[in-house]
Amino acid sequence: MLDTEFYRGRRLRMTPGIRALVRENEIRPADLVMPYFVAETDDKSFRKPIGSMPDQYQLSLAELEKQVAAAVKNGLTSVLLFGIPKEKDELASQAYADEGIVQEAVRRLKDRFPELVVITDVCLCEYTSHGHCGMVSKGGEIQNDPTIELLAKAALSHVRAGADMVAPSDMMDGRILAIRDTLDENGFLSTPIMSYAVKYASAFYGPFREAADSTPKFGDRRSHQMDPANSREALREAAADLDEGADILMVKPGLPYLDVIRQLRDTFETPIATYNVSGEYSMVKAAAQNGWIDEQRTVMEMMTGFKRAGADIVITYFAEDVLGWLNK
C-alpha cells in the first residue's frame, strides 16, 4: 500500500483544463507594447529589414500605418515609437521639431486609431550626429543639465502631437522632473510618464543600434546607464523617479534582470514595465531559425517569466507574434 502522506502536486497538472484553472500568471493582449521604428523618407513604400532583428523593419509613415492596422485587428492595444530622421545634428533638433518624424507618426496613428495607446520614446540618441543620448562637451563628456532641457522640449512636442504617454530612456539625472514640470506648465497634467527608471549599460542592446541608427560615434553610455552588477542602485533610481513624477517604472533589459523586476515589484505599488530588448529577441530568433528551440513555447515562457517576476507591462518585439498565438 502506498504511503499517502506525501504531497501529490500532480493532481493539479493532469489535464489542460485543470492547469488553466489554477494558473497563477496569464499573458493578456493589454499587457503587451509593440515597438516600431519609423523612418523619415519620401518613399511611402519604404520597408527596410533590420538585418540583426529578423522580421523587424524600419518603416515609412504609410508602412507603419499598415503594420499597426494589422496588429490592432489582431488585438494590439499599445505601441512605442522610435524615430529615425533624415537629418541629424549636435543639438538633436529633429527630436523636438513640431513636424519631426515621431510627431508625424503620432498624429497619423491617433487619427486612424484613436483608442490605441501611443507611447513615445524620449531620447536624443537617434537624432544627434554623434549618437549619444545628450549634449556633449568639447572634452567628450555627456552634459546632464543642458540635455534635460531638450528632453523636456521633445516630450512636450510629442504630447502636443497627441501622444498618450512619454517614456524617457536617456538616464539623465532629473529628466523626469524636468519633463513633468514642462508638461504640467503647458496644461498636460494628465499625461503619464513611463520612466526607463532602471536602464542598464547592457550588451543586449546591440541589434537596436542598427534598428534605430543610434550607434555612438565615440565612447559608450556607461557614464549614465547603470552598472549591470548593481541592484540596490536600481531601487534608488526608481525611488528618485517616482519622487520626480514618474507614473510607471521600467526595468531594461528584461531577462537578465528578473531579480530587479521582483525587487521593484516588492518595493513599489506603481505599475512596473520591462523591456524585452533587441538582443533577447535576436537570440531567440537565431536559435529558432537553426531549429534549436521551439520559438512559440520559448517566447511564451519568457513572457510568463516577466509576469511572474512582477512586470505588469511587457514591451517586446514579439508582441505581434504573441497576439497571433493567443488568438489561435
In tens, the pLDDT along 240-267 reads: 999 999 999 999 999 999 999 999 999 9
The model carries a pTM of 0.93
CATH of 26-326, one of 3.30.1360.120, 3.20.20.70, 3.30.360.10, 3.30.70.600: 3.20.20.70
Confidence label for 181 from pLDDT (cuts 50, 70 and 90): very high
DSSP 155-191: HHHHHHHT-SEEEE-S--TTHHHHHHHHHHHTT-TT-
What is the Cα–Cα distance from 23 to 16, expressed in whole angstroms?
10
Catalytic option among 199, 217, 285, 307:
199
Q: For residue 238, what pLDDT is reported?
A: 97
Grid cell of 137 as nine digits = 562637451
Look at residue 135 and tell me whether its pLDDT is greater than 80: no
pLDDT one-digit tens code per residue, 18-34: 999 999 999 999 999 99
Q: For residue 121, what pLDDT is reported?
A: 95
Span of 1-5, 100-104, 185-189, 227-231 with lowest mean pLDDT? 1-5
> Has 252 been annotated as catalytic?
yes
What is the Cα–Cα distance from 89 to 128, expressed in whole angstroms?
5
Look at residue 184 and tell me whether its pLDDT is greater than 70: yes
- List C-alpha distances in Å: 290 to 60, 284, 296: 31, 10, 14
Percent with pLDDT over 70 in the chain: 94
Q: Is the dihedral of CA 107, 102, 88, 67 positive or negative?
A: negative
Phi, psi for 151 (deg, rounded to 5): -65, -40
- E strand or H helix that includes residue 308: helix 295-309
pLDDT one-digit tens code per residue, 260-295: 999 999 999 999 999 999 999 999 999 999 999 999
User: E-strand spans in the chain?
Assistant: 32-39, 47-49, 57-59, 78-84, 117-122, 135-136, 142-143, 165-168, 194-199, 248-252, 272-276, 313-316
> Has 285 been annotated as catalytic?
no
Grid cell of 217 as nine digits = 560615434
Q: Taking residues 166-189, report their average pLDDT.
A: 95
What is the Cα–Cα distance from 319 to 33, expressed in whole angstroms?
7
Catalytic option among 88, 153, 252, 285:
252
What is the Cα–Cα distance from 328 to 323, expressed in whole angstroms?
9
Q: What SS3 class is residue 122?
A: strand
Look at residue 1 and tell me whether its pLDDT is greater than 60: no
